[in-house]
Amino acid sequence: MGESSTKPSGYKEYVAGLLAGVATVVIGHPFDTVKVKLQKHNTEVQGIKYRNGLHCTARILATEGVRGLYTGATSSFVGMAFESSLLFGVYSQTKQLLQGGVQSSGPQPQVIIPSAAFGGAIISFVLCPSELVKCRMQVQGTDSLVPKSSSYSSPLDCALKTIKSDGVTGIFRGGSTTLLRESLGNAVFFSVYEYVRYYMHLNTGSSYHSQLTDMGIGILSGGLGGVAFWSAVLPLDVAKTIIQTAPYKSSPTHPFQVLNSIYRRAGLRGCYAGLGPTIVRAFPANAAAIVTWELAMKLLGIKND
């Protein structure tokens, strides 16, 4: 995998991460809109139930057009750019710090897992308000049970109305669930990414890799990492959607309490609501993120160990 600079290079990892975040939203946001609508509608007692992700997508396209699939994308672009910049930057620098400048021959779980979990915990503070606004915007369009009178005209309007009715802490509703999802999920994501990348580089058998080989490895390692992330933490994500889009301030905010009530009402299938579009989104969105990140790191002159 070549010689690597283990000295943290300051801002560059954060710039590469920011570009990865933008790529994630461009590719992944339409899938995310479908996932949120499935989670909201298919766990509710009344209202329309979607048969599957395709049925939901067709409903959105028929009533709102392509623009409907990018509802709430503004807050997503801002949130993901910050979040991705922080996640990849903190992960890279914590990993370098824990390795202590020692060149390792292969992935070290005792370095990868804490670095990824720490990065995940930090970004949850950026992600929580951004995702609250995004989810509340996404659930109010097609087939929504949200009355028109209480709908939001823009992400800013949503944030201000939330703060006005629930106080500043209201914008951080679902914070502990987000922290749990991001810490666990990113430990899984980076472990899968590092191991798949390592073994694929080994099996290509040459120290010289073409741009195309590197991109192929990036697509596969990033895509599989993304699928592993969501397979591991989707029930926590379902709980977070329910907590953040609940109409009443007094609604429960404990993830396991929420999951328990979803399980009683909709079974295991309810706890994995939105699995189809989530997994379908996870591969291309995370592949795009990793390919963009690795390419940006290369262009910025950072060797990725």
pLDDT digits (tens, 9 = 90+) for 173-232: 999 999 999 999 999 999 999 999 999 988 776 555 677 788 999 999 999 999 999 999
CA distances from 120 to 2, 41, 90, 190 (A): 28, 28, 9, 11
Per-residue pLDDT at 102 exceeds 70: yes
Q: What's the domain range around 218? A: 10-99+108-144+152-300
Within a domain: residue 73? Answer: yes
The whole-number pLDDT of residue 44 equals: 65
* 85, 17 Cβ separation under 8 angstroms: yes
d(CA 18, CA 292): 10
294-298 average pLDDT score? 92
**Residue 270: both structure tokens together:** 């309810």
The whole-number pLDDT of residue 281 equals: 87
Within a domain: residue 4? Answer: no
Over residues 124-140, the pLDDT tens digits come to: 998 898 888 888 887 87
Stated pTM of the model = 0.81
CATH number at residue 261: 1.50.40.10
Within a domain: residue 305? Answer: no
Within a domain: residue 5? Answer: no
d(CA 147, CA 162): 16
Residue 6 pLDDT grade (very low, low, confident, very high; cuts 50, 70, 90): very low
d(CA 152, CA 137): 7
For the chain, what percent of residues have pLDDT higher than 90?
40
Over residues 68-100, the pLDDT tens digits come to: 888 877 877 877 888 899 999 999 999 999 988
The whole-number pLDDT of residue 36 equals: 78
The whole-number pLDDT of residue 141 equals: 66
* 259, 274 Cβ separation under 8 angstroms: no
Within a domain: residue 198? Answer: yes
The whole-number pLDDT of residue 142 equals: 58
- Based on the structure, what is the number of domains in the chain? 1
d(CA 300, CA 290): 15
d(CA 17, CA 23): 10
DSSP secondary structure, 220-266, as one string? HHHHHHHHHHHHHHHHHHHHHHHHHH-SSTTS---HHHHHHHHHHHH
Supply angle C-alpha 267, 273, 278, rounded to 5. Answer: 150
Per-residue pLDDT at 4 exceeds 50: no
**Residue 94: both structure tokens together:** 């914590």
Within a domain: residue 227? Answer: yes
Whole-number average pLDDT of the chain:
85
CB atoms within 10 A of CB 98: 15
